[in-house]
Amino acid sequence: MRRKALLAVLLAPLFMALVAVSVINVALAAIGEALAADSGGLQWVISGYALAFGIVLVPAGRAGDATGRRRMFLIGVALFTLGSLASGLAPNVELLNLSRILQGLGSGLLNPQTVALIQQHFRGQDRARAFAMLATTVAVATAVGPVIGGALIQVLGADAGWRWMFLMNVPIGVVAIVAALRIIPDDRRHRVPGKGRRPDLDPVGTLLLTLAILGVMLPFLERGVSTLVWLSFPVGLAMLGLWWVWEQSYKERGRPPMVDPAIFTNRPFRNGILIVSVYFLGATSVWIIVPLYLQMHLGHSAFEASLLGLPSSVAAAISSQIAGSRVLGMGRRMVIYGFAVAFTGLLGTALLAGPVESGWIPFWLLAVPLTLMGVSQGMTIAPNQTLTLNSVDPRYGGVAGGILQLGQRTGAAVGTAMIPGIIFSLTESGTPWLEAFTIAVASIMALTLAAMGVSIADRAREKAASASL
């Protein structure tokens, strides 16, 4: 098997799915005008995708582990491609949102298989490099998505432009399916050996976790939600508790649970989930509050604000490759250093905001400390993923990868509601914009230090484990 070809086949659909996330930000105005959609309808163009994606991550990982990862990968790519076609042809915002949900389901199905197949077919330094390429793919897709979207609208016009943002995925998806059938090894498992029956996918556990994720994430995916919607959050937590009890009892009865509770007794895995969840709780919000500050307060255009993220994405792509070649030797120290770089970038952003507001320095100088955020991304996300999944049996790579990505998505959903909420709450109560922005950045700095603290604790575990060998 050619590993480079396998990695290319795995990462191409992932790139396509990530572009579909970032490209939509520049298309909302055009979609709203073309489909006569209100702000609520446009919100669900983003939120419907995010919710569908998050809900299926862990069940998809379990299904891939139990029945075959290539099969689930192909189904995911097919659903995403079909959703892209339907989105590009949608005559109204309601059908567009349904199509985006289909896209999200497809993306949620293929993502855990990508992580699990890398873990299955790559070992040691090759695996670290593969995860570094995955991180580079994320960084590049995030950077080029808005650029592709803006170019399509500029060249094709508003209506045709946003439609081709979706339709361009269709030929890519078809090619990816054909290539996957030829290159990814067939690992279908129809029957449980010796038992003559289909794999047990724990349908009750799947339903309970789905309802739990839905309840927890829903309030954070739409601004200005009602009190009734917020009630879904404690209900989601209660469902999560029921799911945990069910999984334990299911295992005690000799049945294979969707997620074996024993996986959370694995300290490096548990710490890795906590690290990435706390990091995404804060770091992803930077790219919301900086454009808010520049556009809503300082009067810069959306295009000017979007340019500040390009150097950061390039830095993330480069640092991912460097970190990937060194993470196995450095262990959690790499992640700790990454958080230190992020803290420095956030501090620099807070310190430069005042001079930018007063006009002493141009706004684009904010790109300097924000580029450090990209450097830190390459030093934290992929290395943390490598170290976390290295502690898990590759047979359960799909579930482990799904849980890891669910931590990212949940952290991002909560953070992108919480951190901008701090700014809006403060400014609406009369706090000056500069002070509100600084407080929001300080909140992200505190979360970065918290993630660093968990990383330091896990580094102590690493040292103790190494000393005992």
Taking the C-alpha atoms of residue 125 and residue 427, their distance in angstroms, rounded to an integer, is 49
| Residue whose entry in the numeric block shows the structure tokens 């209900």 | 235
- Angle (CA) 306-280-437 rounded to 5° is 55
Share of the chain above pLDDT 70, in %: 95
Between CA 439 and CA 226 the distance in angstroms is 26
Question: Above 50 in pLDDT, residue 170?
Answer: yes
Q: Express each pLDDT in 33-62 by its tens digit.
A: 889 887 777 778 877 888 888 899 889 998
Domain 262-469 classification at class level: mainly alpha
Q: Specify the length of the chain in residues.
A: 469
Does 302 have pLDDT greater than 70?
no
Amino acid 7: pLDDT = 92
What per-residue string of b and e applies to 264-301 under the rule 16 or more CB within 10 Å gives b?
eebebbbbbbbbbbbbbbbbbbbbbbbbbbbeebbebe
Give 319 or 306, the one with higher predicted confidence: 319
Most trustworthy range by pLDDT among 31-45, 179-193, 356-370 = 356-370
Q: How confident is the model at residue 303 (pLDDT cuts 50, 70, 90)?
A: low
Query: Contact at 8 Å (CB) between 263 and 392?
Result: yes
Would you state the structure tokens that stand for residue 368, as one six-digit string?
């300097």
Round to whole Å and give the CA distance between 6 and 420. 40
**pLDDT band for position 23 (cuts 50, 70, 90):** confident
User: What is the distance between the alpha carbons of residues 269 and 286, in angstroms, rounded to a whole number?
Assistant: 26
Using alpha carbons only, give the angle 145, 147, 149 rounded to the nearest 5 degrees.
Answer: 70
Give the pLDDT score at 223.
61
pTM of the complete model: 0.82
pLDDT at 119 over 90: no
Residues 6 or more apart whose Cβ sits within 8 Å of residue 165? 20, 23, 24, 27, 88, 148, 149, 152
Instruction: Please calculate the CA angle 108-114-120 and round it to the nearest 5 degrees.
Output: 135
- The whole-angstrom separation of Cα 256 and Cα 453 is 35
DSSP state of 90: -
What number is the average pLDDT over the span 222-235? Answer: 77
- What value does the mean pLDDT take over residues 95-111? 94
Q: What is the pLDDT of residue 404?
A: 87
Fold match between domain 1-185 and domain 262-469: yes
Nearest to 359 by CA among 296, 298, 430: 298
Q: Which two tokens stand for residue 295?
A: 């556009």
C-alpha 102/C-alpha 87 separation (Å) is 9
95-119 average pLDDT score:
92
Res 193 pLDDT > 70: no
C-alpha to C-alpha distances, 8 to 14, 15, 32, 130, 424, nearest whole angstrom: 10, 10, 35, 10, 42
- Tell me how crowded residue 77 is: count the other CB atoms within 10 A of its CB: 29
SS3 content of the chain, % helix, strand, coil (to 5): 85, 0, 15
Side chain identity, residue 392: V
How far is it, in rounded angstroms, from Cα 139 to Cα 378?
9
Q: Which of 191, 246, 205 is nearest to 66 (CA)?
A: 191
Token couple for 354: 């005042």
Longest dimension (CA), the chain: 75
Q: Tokens for 461? A: 């575990």
pLDDT in tens, 70-101: 999 999 999 999 999 999 999 999 999 999 99
Please give the structure tokens belonging to residue 342: 């992020």
Q: Which CATH superfamily is domain 1-185 in?
A: MFS general substrate transporter like domains (1.20.1250.20)
- Does residue 192 register a pLDDT over 50? no
Question: Rounded distance, CA 436 to CA 29, Å?
Answer: 27
How far apart are alpha carbons 111 and 430 in whole angstroms? Answer: 43
Joined together, the tokens standing for residue 133 give 């390429």
- Domain residue ranges in the chain: 1-185, 202-257, 262-469
User: Token pair of 239, please?
Assistant: 């469902």
Instruction: Name which of 428, 409, 418, 468 is nearest 57 in CA terms.
Output: 409
Q: Residue 231's CB: how many other CB atoms inside 10 A?
A: 12
Angle, vertex CA 20, rays to CA 16 and CA 23, nearest 5: 120
**How high is the mean pLDDT of the chain?**
87
